Amino acid sequence: MKIGLVQINPVIGDFTNNCEKIRSWAEKARQAGCELVIFPELVISGYPPQDLLERDSFVVAQDKAIEEMVADLPELDVLFGCFEKRQGDKGKKLYNSAVVARKGKIVFRAKKQLLPSYDVFDETRYFEPGSASELYRVNGHTFGVTICEDVWSDEVHDYDTEPVKNIIEQAQNEGHDLDGLINISASPFQQGKEETRKAIFTKVCRKYSQPFLYCNQIGGQDSLLFDGRSLVMDKSGEVVAQALGFVEDMVVVDSATWKGEMHGAPRIAELDAVYQGLVMGVRDYVKKCHFSSAVLGLSGGIDSALTAAVAVDALGAENVLGVALPSPYSSQDSLDDARQLAENLGCKFEVLPIAELFSTFNTTLAHLFTDLAEDLTEQNLQARIRGNLLMALSNKFGHLLLTTGNKSEMAVGYCTLYGDMSGGLAVIADVPKQLVYELSVYVNRNKEIIPQRIITKPPSAELKPDQTDQDDLPPYDILDKIVELYLEDGQGVEQIVAQGFDHDIVVDIVRRIRINEYKRKQAPMGLKVTSKAFGFGRRYPNVQNFQG
């Protein structure tokens, strides 16, 4: 039997278009000779719908869309994810389900049993855990169906049930030989996660001697990036079919031989994956929010250069405006580098000097600042002038303003509220500085896009004479590692110091992370590429004084 796995890019709440995509791809699967086609988790509504699930009108609209779609599907089994209403007064009102449509009717249901409530997941807020489902049978074949987290029970040890084990035991008790395990997912991308997934899937295949079919969502949804990379493994854990990453795709596998289509490589280099994810995230956020173009400040530095490269690859050079906003402290080299970058990218470029505006601000404030030395106030004024001008361009021309700060800066508050933090999307806010350098070299892998001087010169905000980032921060390789250990690994000060880092530096960085929480709460949404990003999935109080 031929089976199709289709990863699509849904828009949350756009039931009509999501269902039309399913109909269209199901027809392609039928034409390819498939008797079963599989779609991702919650594909009708898009994932994660969050508090829209609490609106009765949202539930009614999804049910109507499913009813109309099921009546119009082609002649094959169509397995897809949706939420379903649950009966009863106690407990949550919905299930996260996988259903199969056949000849105008729903003929099979499986309910998600393990509901993650960590990091970016909050499923126990909306869903009731399901109990074990029946086995799914189609044309003489029998499958066990699971939903995303249901196959992660060995990885996350907070669960007291093992859905896959229960399926195997159920098949044995009923005297059935399984033909394979199906898992539909909406599993977000982060660095290193693909290896973790495949290790888990391989373990499942080998432990239960079963082929494994995994269908994952793609697309950017707010800060989350879904990479797809749907796949099929044989019972030994070898990948026999592989979809592309970060794009809509279908792969077909034959259950008679467990051989299939290999559209994507079994392994994708992490730099490739991160860059593709950022490009997809920008494209989807801009277009799903009904923008068509973007504007950003080009300082001549590496952060804005990388952000501009991502934006051009996402939106096309004709839809990106780069603006240099030189101050009295900006070097000619930086302006030249910004101009050269724009020429290399082919995007639009403008120069708006801010010296006169800066002088006017200083004159206006002079009688209040008499006898006070210049400090961060004057530096921040320059950033805020730039932010106002960029927002004016955004308002006037309908561009989405992209901010360019990286994760290292966001961590320690090396950024200005209502200045360089102004904007609608923070493209590299979860990209540490060292990774910014690696991605910039990656951008230049075929030809020089980012001028070499941007990559090699010492980073500087250029808000005072002869300034460099390292006037105020430790070297970025040290800063990034401490931030990673503290933020992603959850280690405390003493644990980090025990690994050989200077005690005073660690204490200072942790202090800065703590006292700048209020800034990050006011920052634009950032695209998530690491295991723990600032923003969605990290919930820390602004007011707290724990220093460990």
Q: For 249-272, how does the pLDDT look when each residue is reduced to its tens digit (9 = 90+)?
A: 999 999 999 999 999 877 788 999
* Within a domain: 339: yes
pLDDT at residue 459 in the model: 85
Instruction: Count the helix, strand and coil residues of the chain and give each as a percent rounded to the nearest 5.
Output: 40, 20, 40
Q: Which of 262, 289, 318 is a domain's end point?
A: 262
329 and 433 in a single domain? The answer is yes
Residue 165 DSSP SS3: helix
Q: Return the minimum-mean-pLDDT range out of 37-51, 192-206, 467-481, 483-497.
A: 467-481
Q: What's the CATH number where 413 sits? A: 3.40.50.620
94 and 24 in a single domain? The answer is yes
pLDDT at residue 548 in the model: 78
Q: For 408-440, how does the pLDDT look when each residue is reduced to its tens digit (9 = 90+)?
A: 999 999 999 999 999 999 999 999 999 999 999
291 and 382 in a single domain? The answer is yes
Give the DSSP letter of residue 262: B
pLDDT at residue 446 in the model: 96
pLDDT at 1 over 80: yes
pLDDT at residue 283 in the model: 98
Q: Return the minimum-mean-pLDDT range out of 35-39, 191-195, 449-453.
A: 191-195
Mean pLDDT rounded to a whole number for the chain: 95
pLDDT at residue 316 in the model: 98
Contact 53, 94 (CB under 8 A): yes
pLDDT at residue 154 in the model: 72
Q: For 11-29, how does the pLDDT look when each residue is reduced to its tens digit (9 = 90+)?
A: 999 999 999 999 999 999 9
140 and 188 in a single domain? The answer is yes
Range of the domain at 8: 2-262
- Positive/negative CA dihedral, 236, 238, 241, 245: positive
Residues with Cβ within 8 Å of 276's Cβ and at least 6 positions away in sequence, in order, are: 227, 245, 246
- Positive/negative CA dihedral, 286, 289, 292, 296: negative
Q: For 103-123, how does the pLDDT look when each residue is reduced to its tens digit (9 = 90+)?
A: 999 999 999 999 999 899 999
* Within a domain: 268: no
- Cα angle 65, 71, 75 (rounded to 5 degrees) comes to 130
Q: Could you give the residue ranges of the DSSP H alpha helices within 318-449?
A: 332-345, 355-365, 376-397, 407-412, 433-443
Cα–Cα dist 497/491, whole Å: 10
* Within a domain: 530: no
pLDDT at 483 over 80: yes
33 and 57 in a single domain? The answer is yes
* Within a domain: 526: no
pLDDT at 197 over 80: yes
Give the tokens for residue 493: 């000060």
131 and 59 in a single domain? The answer is yes
Q: Tell me the whole-structure pTM to 2 decimals.
A: 0.95
* Within a domain: 511: no
309 and 245 in a single domain? The answer is no
Contact 398, 423 (CB under 8 A): no
Q: For 436-460, how does the pLDDT look when each residue is reduced to its tens digit (9 = 90+)?
A: 999 999 999 999 999 999 999 988 8
368 and 258 in a single domain? The answer is no
Cα 32 to Cα 27, 352, 510, distances in angstroms: 9, 56, 56
Q: Which of 262, 287, 309 is a domain's end point?
A: 262
Catalytic site positions: 41, 112, 148
Sorting pLDDT into bands at 50, 70 and 90, what band is 176? confident
* Within a domain: 545: no
pLDDT at residue 546 in the model: 87
258 and 279 in a single domain? The answer is no
Q: How many domains does the chain have?
A: 2
pLDDT at residue 157 in the model: 63
* Within a domain: 401: yes
Q: How remote is the C-alpha of 375 from its chain's centroid?
A: 37
pLDDT at 346 over 80: yes
Q: Which of 262, 288, 316 is a domain's end point?
A: 262
280 and 257 in a single domain? The answer is no
Cα 74 to Cα 55, 70, 285, 321, distances in angstroms: 31, 9, 32, 45
* Within a domain: 40: yes
Residue 323 DSSP SS3: strand
Cα–Cα dist 394/170, whole Å: 58
pLDDT at residue 471 in the model: 74
Q: For 126-173, how does the pLDDT look when each residue is reduced to its tens digit (9 = 90+)?
A: 999 999 889 999 999 999 999 999 998 877 767 888 999 999 999 999
Cα–Cα dist 63/44, whole Å: 9
Give the tokens for residue 407: 């994760």
Sorting pLDDT into bands at 50, 70 and 90, what band is 464? confident
138 and 230 in a single domain? The answer is yes
Q: Return the minimum-mean-pLDDT range out of 94-98, 215-219, 273-277, 540-544.
A: 540-544
Q: What's the CATH number where 101 sits? A: 3.60.110.10
Q: Exposed, middle or buried, 343 (CB in 10 Å: 0-12/13-18/19+)? A: exposed
Sorting pLDDT into bands at 50, 70 and 90, what band is 469? confident
pLDDT at residue 467 in the model: 76
pLDDT at 543 over 90: no
Contact 190, 278 (CB under 8 A): no
Sorting pLDDT into bands at 50, 70 and 90, what band is 470? confident
168 and 188 in a single domain? The answer is yes
Cα–Cα dist 303/326, whole Å: 16
Q: pLDDT exceeding 70 applies to what percent of the chain?
A: 100
